[in-house]
Amino acid sequence: MEAKKIGCYICTGCGIGEALNVAALEKIATKEQKLPVTRTHPFLCGAEGLQMIRDDMANEGVNALLIAACSHRVKTDEFERFNTPLLDRVDLRDKSLWVQDISSGNKEAKEDLQMMASDYLRMGSVKLKKMNAPDPFQDDGFSRDVLVVGGGIAGLTAAKEVAATGYRAILVEKSAELGGMVGRMHKVSPTMPPYRVLEENPVPGLVATVEGESRIKIYKNATIQSTKGAPGLFDVEIKNGDTVHTERVGSIILTTGYNLYEASKLDARLGYGSSPDVVTSLEFEEMAKAGQLVRKSDGKPAKRVMFSLCAGQRDANHLEYCSAACCTYSLKQALYVLEQFQDGAAFMLFQEMRTPGQMEEFYRRVQEEGGVIIKGDVEQVSKGASGGLSVQIHDKLLRGKESVDVDLLVLATGMISTVDTQDPNKPSPVGQVAEETAKSVLNLEYRQGRSMPELKWGFPDSHFICFPYETRRTGIYAAGPARRPMGIAETVTDATGAALKAIQVVEAVAKGAAVHPRSGDLSYPSFRREGCTQCKRCTEECPFGAINEDEKGNPLFNPTRCRRCGTCMGACPQKIISFANYSVDMIGSMIKEVEVPPADDEKPRILVFACVNDAIPALDMVGQKRSALSTYIRIVPLRCMGSMNLVWIADAMSSGFDGILLMGCRHGDDYQCHNVRGSALAEIRLSKVSETLNRLQLESSRVKMVEVNIMDADQLPTIINEFAEQIGSMDLNPYKEF
């Protein structure tokens, strides 16, 4: 690549020109940073300003742009469409001018702002100097085919949608027939307006479509023996009887559906097993399909039927969670009774009636037909006076014990995961083969273990707030009840979404680009092999399991699995992992570029590491609200707190910073970190920082980490200013003099 020629463009609009000594900034760019081209413009984002930049790129050979204007989150259409990957935005406005109160005309306040702007310009300049254009990862063997595991309604929908988009799908089903659970149903709850009528089972039609589609290859009676590789390069061994077929695929959709909680494990009070007239909802479904809505005990018509909408769900002794679909499922079955018998009665015994999406309409329909709801629990089931059952309930609406005579009691048992998952905090040791379990699905040959990282209750982790389709194994998308319990309408939507994600990833991989959350990022980590001490921190900490190991314990990067968060870079004690455009050296150099005033000036400096996903937007909002922040702070955006390398803390302290504030996302059970584990890992690393500080004979309270949510703009001034006050009240960092 040709030599880098940096052009620095300082905007003087939005009040920047009046508040700052722009000539002094230009001098920093030209004299101190020795940038070959430096220009100012009163309206840089206007047509004329942008043309000035384009002219320089055409005529002066400028190929790297340092744009000193507003936050990198605004004016992206204007400033990020130049034909160069080498670009940095210096924020002179949102996080500088707008958070400093200079209205009083106070000379010192103006000076402080000038120092802040100068430091940001220096940091941007050195960042751009250290930045290289990423060279996207390419491989000749990329496949664009999509593997779909599980041939129920979710898998059938996903395969159909993949094929309809023009891609090839490979569908693997462990049983002899396609169709899954929904295939066994009599009718299905509504999936389309007006959401009031039972629909014919869509599965037979769907099976015919999928079986007749030339772009879909189907393996029945087949399981996945192993899954090796990475997005674009997955090699999957499909075991079909004694034969093993190997397929290369680009991405995988996991649609293994659900198992039902075993009714025999339920509390005795529900009466399952004590009478043939207590049945599960699946058994009732099969009775309806066979046209046999009768008491199993004596064959008389089952006209009065009670449905227990929670049968073990939301019960700490059975399933702690709501299984989401059982209320709708039971309403549907109530309608079987009410439609078949003029004098039928259906009782829905619920804890909370949960009818997600448009199912409220269906609930209304069932009530119109005469379905009766009862809030309460079954306490005891005994034989009824005229056959059938007498169910004693605790009725929370009538406020007492009541007994109800019914012909059948139907237990809507809950959904349990079919995906083998593992505690994400305990990756299995190298080479360990997971125990053969009934649930084993993909058998990943990943250093981090053969199963999927778990979110909760055995379901695979997905970024449930922002990116629900994504799992923590790039290119593998769980959809339908394999991801979390859900009903049919939701499953169809979910499977369609997963099909699109599976196509998106193979296309991104072909370009060498990342998927969520750094979509389009062409960089990927590389490491200096000779510096590696085989400590395995990178392989263990990568939230996405992107790194394997060779026999010696050296990392083996799978660039197409990588989400470019930089957690490996932050983890590496040897500082040998870097990206072309993001490295330990780059951030370290930016820190060293800040001009720390001598101790006599009594102007402390606080380094703020802020996550670009949440903390930086929140800080921009602080600026938009014109709230004042301490003049001591210097903000360094990080891709993710996970990329925070402890050496920066030591660098900052030895360069004379007085305090360090880290702003990461919420972690823990309800994490908000875009990279799932980044902020949690940063906190773990920080817990070890006191050693470093003690070695330097500094107080550990100089370094603080806070969780910042994107909505925290109102709290940030307090958080930052209180920390600044605390640092201000301490002695200055004695290393300033060195």
Partner 1 sequence: MAYDLSFAQDVYKNSEMGHWIKMCKQCGVCAGSCPLGPHWEYSPRQLFQLVRGGKKEEVLKSQSMWMCTSCYNCIVRCPRGLPITHIVHGLARYASVKGYADPNQVTNRFATKIFWTNIVSTGRVGEAMLTMRLYFVDGLAAGIQRGLEMKDSALGMLMTKRLNPIPFRGKIKGYAGFAAMIAKAQELEAKREAGA
Contact set with partner 1 (CB under 8 A): 345, 347, 353, 363-364, 367-368, 370, 372-375, 390, 395, 397-398, 402-405
Looking at the Cβ atoms of 274 and 392, the one nearer to partner 1 is 392
**Least distance (Å) from partner 1 to the CB of residue 345?**
6
660: Cβ–Cβ under 8 A, 6 or more apart, which residues? 606, 607, 608, 609, 649, 652, 653, 702, 703, 704
The whole-angstrom separation of Cα 182 and Cα 254 is 17
Task: Spell out a b/e string for 256-281, using b for 16 or more CB atoms within 10 Å of the CB, else e.
Answer: bbbbbbebeebeeebbbeebebbbbb
Nearer to partner 1, 402 or 445 (CB): 402
Q: Which residues contact 690 (CB under 8 A, 6 or more apart)?
A: 700
In 253-325, where does DSSP find H-type helix? 281-289
- Distance of closest approach, residue 376 Cβ to partner 1, in angstroms: 11
381: three-class secondary structure by DSSP = strand
Report the amino acid identity of residue 639.
R
CB of 364 to partner 1, least distance (A): 7
Give whichever of 182 and 338 is closer to partner 1, judged by the CB atom.
338
CB of residue 385 vs partner 1: minimum separation in angstroms? 9
Residues 6+ apart with CB under 8 A from 655: 591, 592, 594, 596, 735
Taking the complex as a whole, the smallest distance from the CB of residue 384 to partner 1 amounts, in Å, to: 9
- Which own/partner pairs from 517-521 qualify as long-range (CB within 8 Å, at least 24 positions apart)? 517/466, 517/467, 517/563, 517/565, 517/613, 517/674, 517/675, 518/563, 518/564, 518/565, 518/639, 521/134, 521/564
Strand partners, 421: 452
User: Minimal distance in Å, beta carbon 198 to partner 1?
Assistant: 19
In the complex with partner 1, the residue whose CB is nearer, 364 or 704, is 364
- Type of residue numbered 648: W
Q: How far is the CB of 341 from partner 1 (least distance, A)?
A: 12
Identify whether the C-beta of residue 152 lies closer than 8 Å to the C-beta of residue 179: yes
Q: How far is the CB of 19 from partner 1 (least distance, A)?
A: 53
Cα distance between residue 148 and residue 157, in whole Å = 10
Name the minimum Å distance from CB 210 to partner 1: 39
CB neighbours (10 Å) of residue 737?
10
- For partner 1, the closer of residues 120 and 363 by Cβ is 363
Residue 347 or 657 having the CB closest to partner 1: 347
372 or 510, CB closer to partner 1?
372
| Angular region, 443: left φ>0, alpha ψ -120 to 50, beta rest | left
Measured between alpha carbons, how far is residue 709 from residues 169, 517, 638 in Å? 40, 16, 15
Residue type, 316: A
Minimum distance from CB of 267 to partner 1 (Å)?
22
Distance, CA of 345 to chain centre: 45
Q: Which is nearer to partner 1, 199 or 402 (CB)?
A: 402
CB of 277 to partner 1, least distance (A): 16
CB of 196 to partner 1, least distance (A): 14
To partner 1, the closest distance from the beta carbon of 369 in angstroms equals 9
By residue count, the chain amounts to 738
Distances (CA, A) of 72 to 14, 288, 338, 612, 713: 15, 61, 61, 10, 17
Residue 555 near residue 483 (C-beta atoms within 8 A): no
The nearer residue to partner 1, 267 or 402, going by C-beta atoms, is 402
Task: Report the relative pairing of strands 462-463 and 467-471 from DSSP bridges.
Answer: antiparallel
CA–CA distance, 594 with 591 (Å, rounded to integer): 6
Shortest distance, position 398 Cβ to partner 1, whole Å: 5
Whether the Cβ atoms of residue 313 and residue 326 lie closer than 8 Å to each other: yes
Count of alpha carbons within 13 angstroms of residue 290, beta-carbon side: 9
Bridge partners, residue 170, by sequence: 147, 217
Q: How far apart are the first and last CA of the chain?
A: 39
In the complex, minimum distance from the CB of residue 406 to partner 1, in angstroms, rounded to a whole number: 9
Closest to partner 1 by CB, 345 vs 693, is 345
Q: How far apart, in Å, are the Cα atoms of 733 and each of 542, 597, 635, 656, 687?
A: 34, 11, 19, 6, 21
Residue linked to tokens 């993909």: 442
Which residue, 278 or 349, is less far from partner 1 as judged by CB?
349
